[in-house]
Amino acid sequence: GGPLRGTVTDESELDNLSLAIPAFAADRDVATAANASGTAALGVELARVVYSDLENNGLFAPTGPDSLPRPTYPQITDPVWGTWNVRGAEMLVQGYVRPRGDGNLIVGCYLYDVALRDELVRSGWVVPPSDWRRAAHKCADLIYSRLTGESPFFDSRIAYIAETGPKDNRTKRLAIMDSDGANHRFITTGRATALTPRYSPDYRRLMYLSYVDGNPRIY
């Protein structure tokens, strides 16, 4: 292979950049397959995931939805700037969640510069209810990429070999999870040892080595 290449971000400018991430708003509070408590409660959960992603990254100083006022649905595209000025927020992340007639969810995500009173970036995604966390990770990716210029990575799946059992009789199972550890599930039963998982270029398939009856085969 060729030489390793990478990018270096000047993190000093981003250190302690204060982001306010209030609850995502719902145009109406209805139950969905994602959350029986309704879209208003789901809006809080979406913001919590975005907050956790950006907080755990260590580059920013975000404040999450549990200690912030909740914007109304019309305020998502028309922020009440004074609310966020008095809180010292430099950046404001707002979003909404809306159920569609086909059962899917529309999740919108907006990043505002509070001092400039300007929208920096926006995007939206249509996801099945079971993938609501992916929409939150995509929002965090949007914010992270816009503020750092770096490639996104929160909306990613990790494949790994989970080892359980005593030292002399380990069970090795193929498992996958989201980048933040959520949505964990085992792909193999553990009856045969699984090793070296690799994603296909489009991330739709996993290749791994397994020993069945002592013979290695690729699956």
C-alpha angle with apex 137: 131 to 140, nearest 5 degrees?
150
* Phi/psi at 138 (5° precision): -65, -35
pLDDT of the chain, 219 residues: tens digit per residue = 556 555 444 444 555 789 999 999 999 888 887 777 899 999 999 999 999 988 888 788 999 999 999 999 999 999 999 999 999 999 999 999 999 989 899 999 999 999 999 999 999 999 999 889 899 999 999 999 999 888 766 655 556 566 777 877 777 776 665 555 555 656 666 667 766 666 666 556 777 677 677 777 777
Listed residue (88, 4, 52) closest to 181, CA to CA: 52
- Entry pTM: 0.73
For residue 201, what pLDDT is reported? 66
β-sheet bridge partners, residue 98:
106
CA distance 104 to 189: 31
Cα gap 15→29, rounded to integer Å? 36
At 217 the pLDDT is: 75
Q: How many CA atoms lie within 13 A of 118 on its CB side?
A: 3
Do residues 30 and 78 lie in contact, with contact meaning Cβ atoms separated by under 8 Å? no
Query: What pLDDT does residue 9 have?
Result: 47
CA triple 94-127-35, angle to 5 deg: 75
